Amino acid sequence: MKEDRGMGKPVNNGPFLLDPDSDNVLLNKYLNLEKIEKNLYRSTFQEVNPGGRKNVFGGQLIGLGVMAAGDTVESEYHLHSLHCYFLKGGLDQPILFQVEATREGSTYCSRSVKAIQNGFTLFTMQCSFKKPESDSFEHQFKMPDVPKPDELKNTSQLVQDWIDDRDLSDENIRGMLRIYRKVIDRATYEIRPIYPERFRHETGLEPRECVWIRAKKPLGDDPHLNKSVAAYYSDMHISIVSSYPKPRIPGSFKFLTSSLDHSVWFHHPFRLDDWLLYEVESPHTANGRGFGVGRFWSPDGKLVMSVAQEGMIRTLKAKL
């Protein structure tokens, strides 16, 4: 087993840390693991969801689990799929990641990951890795024909446009939007929606969306690190699309959402400090559960990753 997959020298037994003086919050905090012993890791910095529930963000658990699992396989094996369940909301406290080798094959190997906090299992995940191989047969869907990122505004700019809108007379809503913009500006990623008019809608919409997404800080070209970050980000946008058939007006409705299960398939290498198009749709929502599927496309039109998720979604009347 290789202790360092090429992402920098180990620091405090955390094989994935970059320079500890770096300002890359994504790697040095959100995806920082301390290696305690073989197959056992600890995360001490948790990304807590804003709002009333204040549970650890599910995408961070996925990303950390992928980082831990990847450290237990030889570097010639590459992650091609993961399947996970969220079992209990995590607190802003250290979390242990326990990895078990469930298969060692000549082409494929697999790992089981548990995230444990205060004696409770928060999250379980199965990861499958394989050695590269080639075959002359292949096919894929065609990437949507959409504007390029440099032709679009990011979410921070869109929120500011909303704040500056003279037709917006409700100061409570304007105040909520200012808070929302601060959250966006602190994020480790940038999003540019393809259809800005869908970002703010006063009528119900079809539950589909496309956004460009990238990490704000450099990640390098290590494939496992980029997959860990992509798995982390894949939980960020997919659940909200289930709510699109309701008007998206701050203060009128809010949604209680939580990921129940999540699956990712990796098709081709990519870098997430470059733009990827995240295409998302929700074919079905009912009985307090929303189902979503997503596809990540590289700028040159290659399908690099697919996602599926079911999440809890409950509509609550907001109190202003």
- The CA–CA distances, whole Å, from 160 to 56, 84, 152, 169, 172 equal 28, 36, 14, 15, 15
19 belongs to the catalytic site:
no
Where would I find the H helices in the chain?
Answer: 25, 58-70, 155-164, 171-186, 196-199, 223-237
Tell me the two tokens of residue 109. Answer: 């190997």
46 belongs to the catalytic site:
no
Place of tokens 């990540």: 296
Exactly one of 126, 282, 306, 309 is catalytic; which is it? 309
Are 290 and 282 in contact, with CB atoms under 8 Å apart?
yes
Exactly one of 60, 110, 235, 242 is catalytic; which is it? 235
Partners of 78 in the β-ladder? 130
Q: Please report, as a single letter, which amino acid is at residue 183.
A: V
Tell me the two tokens of residue 218. Answer: 């450099």
Where would I find the H helices in 71-186?
Answer: 155-164, 171-186
Phi and psi of 197, rounded to 5°?
Answer: -65, -20
Tell me the two tokens of residue 133. Answer: 């191989």
Q: How far apart are CA 145 and CA 99, in angstroms?
A: 41
309 belongs to the catalytic site:
yes
Exactly one of 258, 261, 263, 273 is catalytic; which is it? 258
Catalytic positions, written as ranges: 235, 258, 309
